[in-house]
């Protein structure tokens, strides 16, 4: 009885405070008397039942989850319509922002690039567009400036990449040799400790010294000038290389820098371009001697044979080097083909010389001494 009185006091306390209650006791009398108390205190019992209904059992959760897809299916058309409207509104806002931005940018470019040039006093300078309407003047000047920057990126920086040939009494070599720098004369190498370094190809000094005087040697590469100029000074201390052409002297087309041999200001029948990548000279394939890419090996002797091939062309005074280059273009490795051909030629010459020596009678065998001190034949 005492236990029941304590339980009733506790229940009355919770009924006054309107707080949810859970009974954890297993006493029989308590389980029988508590419902009776809740019925007497209807307001508290209703709050208690509501709070208890919020606590879901596993079975209730499972049933509610099964019913959820049906509710979602019922709400799907409306939700989809709302989502479409929201998405369209977002798209319109983005497009409107981009339109306003591009309009402002275009207006700024027209007023900046299309403005006429001014003199030292700030007065506009008249040009060939000054007689046209003001709006048309600004538009045409803007187009001209944009086209200039486009050409600056995609085309060589000047029409004549080399100065005019030297005239007598100065010595102008008959032939022009255009050399790629990367993987032909030097090989770039990168390590974690040293960073980028360039390895000089074996026999490079011999190669340059042999061809100097017979060829006008030109370095033509797509590398940046800030890399090329100090590198050439290091590998060519004798200044045997006549000219250096870098990226600004190339065409940029198809995402690739192409050498403009037509802009060299030289007769292309006397121009030989040495490169390992045909894409670098795709506008003038007939002037290309496609050699193998040097990978940095120390036992390479290709420059020795290449110098012999180029020296042979110069010594034979070839009028159009493109005919010789066309012959060697059918070989994957023209230097190896020339080496093999030169070897066979030397063997043939030696065989001919040996045959001539065998056919000619020996003067010693024909000489016969006489008693009169004369030799008879």
Domain segments of the chain: what residues? 2-54, 94-154, 175-330
The kind and range of the H/E element at 35 are helix 28-40
Tens of pLDDT, residue by residue over 149-189, are 777 778 898 999 999 999 988 999 999 999 999 999 999 98
| pLDDT for 34 | 46
* Length, in residues, of the chain: 377
pLDDT tier, 86 (very low <50, low <70, confident <90, very high otherwise): confident
Q: What is the mean pLDDT of the chain?
A: 81
| pLDDT for 370 | 55
pLDDT tier, 242 (very low <50, low <70, confident <90, very high otherwise): very high
* pLDDT value at 245 more than 90: yes
Q: How many CB atoms lie within 10 A of CB 124?
A: 11
* pLDDT value at 57 more than 70: no
Per the CB < 8 A criterion, the answer to whether 40 and 66 are in contact is no
- Residues 139, 191: Cα–Cα separation, whole Å: 52
Tens of pLDDT, residue by residue over 294-352, are 999 999 999 999 999 999 999 999 999 999 999 999 999 999 999 999 899 888 888 88
| pLDDT for 362 | 56
Percent of the chain with pLDDT over 70: 76
- Residues 93, 95: Cα–Cα separation, whole Å: 6
| pLDDT for 33 | 44
Q: Which residues contact residue 39 at a Cβ distance below 8 angstroms, ignoring those fewer than 6 apart?
A: 45
The kind and range of the H/E element at 174 are none
Per the CB < 8 A criterion, the answer to whether 206 and 304 are in contact is yes
DSSP β-ladder status, 288-290 and 271-275? parallel
Q: Looking at per-residue confidence, does 205 or 196 come out higher?
A: 205
pLDDT tier, 16 (very low <50, low <70, confident <90, very high otherwise): low
| pLDDT for 146 | 80
Q: Cα dihedral angle (129, 134, 136, 138), rounded to 10 degrees?
A: 80
Lowest-confidence region among 3-7, 111-115, 233-237, 323-327: 3-7
| pLDDT for 7 | 55
| pLDDT for 305 | 95
CATH of 175-330, one of 3.30.1360.20, 3.40.50.1000, 3.40.50.800, 3.90.1150.10: 3.40.50.1000
| pLDDT for 64 | 54
The closest of 290, 272, 270 to 332, measured between CA atoms, is 290
**How would you label 64-95 residue by residue, b for 16+ Cβ within 10 Å and e otherwise?**
eeeeeeeeeeeeeeeeeeeeeeeeeeeeeeee
- Residues 132, 325: Cα–Cα separation, whole Å: 54
* pLDDT value at 201 more than 50: yes
- Residues 155, 159: Cα–Cα separation, whole Å: 9
pLDDT tier, 81 (very low <50, low <70, confident <90, very high otherwise): confident
Per the CB < 8 A criterion, the answer to whether 299 and 293 are in contact is no
* pLDDT value at 20 more than 80: no
- Residues 89, 98: Cα–Cα separation, whole Å: 14
pLDDT tier, 58 (very low <50, low <70, confident <90, very high otherwise): low
| pLDDT for 38 | 43
Tens of pLDDT, residue by residue over 101-140, are 989 988 888 878 888 888 888 788 888 887 888 888 888 8
For the chain, counts of helices (H) and of strands (E): 11, 9
Provide the whole-model pTM: 0.63
Packing angle of the helix pair 28-40, 42-54 (nearest 10 deg): 110
* pLDDT value at 72 more than 80: no
Q: What is the largest CA-CA distance in the chain?
A: 175
The arithmetic mean of pLDDT across residues 199-215, rounded, is 96
| pLDDT for 302 | 95
Q: Which residues contact residue 261 at a Cβ distance below 8 angstroms, ignoring those fewer than 6 apart?
A: 178, 268, 271, 273, 281, 283, 284, 287
């Amino acid at each position: 009885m005492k236990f029941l009185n304590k339980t009733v006091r506790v229940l009355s306390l919770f009924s006054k405070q309107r707080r949810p209650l859970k009974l954890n006791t297993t006493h029989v009398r308590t389980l029988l008397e508590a419902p009776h108390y809740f019925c007497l205190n209807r307001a508290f019992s209703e709050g208690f039942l509501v709070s208890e209904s919020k606590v879901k059992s596993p079975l209730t959760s499972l049933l509610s989850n099964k019913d959820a897809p049906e509710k979602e299916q019922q709400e799907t058309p409306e939700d989809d319509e709302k989502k479409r409207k929201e998405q369209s509104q977002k798209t319109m806002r983005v497009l409107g922002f981009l339109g306003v931005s591009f309009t402002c940018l275009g207006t700024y470019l027209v007023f900046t690039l299309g403005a006429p040039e001014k003199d030292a006093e700030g007065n506009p300078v008249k040009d060939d567009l000054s007689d046209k309407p003001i709006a048309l003047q600004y538009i045409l000047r803007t187009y001209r400036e944009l086209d200039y920057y486009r050409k600056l990126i995609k085309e060589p920086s000047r029409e004549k990449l080399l100065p005019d040939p030297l005239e007598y009494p100065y010595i102008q070599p008959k032939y022009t040799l255009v050399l790629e720098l990367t993987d032909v004369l030097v090989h770039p190498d990168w390590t974690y400790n040293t960073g980028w370094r360039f390895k000089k190809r074996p026999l490079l000094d011999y190669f340059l010294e042999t061809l100097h005087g017979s060829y006008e040697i030109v370095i033509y590469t797509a590398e940046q000038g800030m890399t090329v100029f100090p590198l050439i000074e290091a590998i060519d201390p004798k200044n045997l290389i006549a000219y250096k052409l870098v990226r600004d002297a190339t065409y940029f087309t198809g995402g690739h820098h192409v050498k403009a041999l037509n802009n060299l200001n030289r007769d292309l029948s006397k121009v030989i371009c040495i490169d390992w990548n045909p894409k670098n000279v795709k506008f003038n394939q007939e002037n290309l001697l496609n050699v193998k890419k040097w990978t940095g090996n120390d036992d390479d002797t290709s420059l020795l044979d290449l110098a012999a091939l180029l020296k042979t062309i110069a010594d034979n005074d070839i009028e159009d080097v493109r005919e010789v280059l066309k012959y060697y273009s059918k070989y994957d490795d023209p230097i190896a083909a020339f080496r093999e051909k030169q070897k066979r030629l030397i063997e043939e010459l030696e065989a001919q010389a040996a045959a001539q020596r065998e056919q000619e009678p020996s003067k010693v065998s024909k000489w016969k001494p006489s008693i009169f001190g004369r030799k008879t034949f």
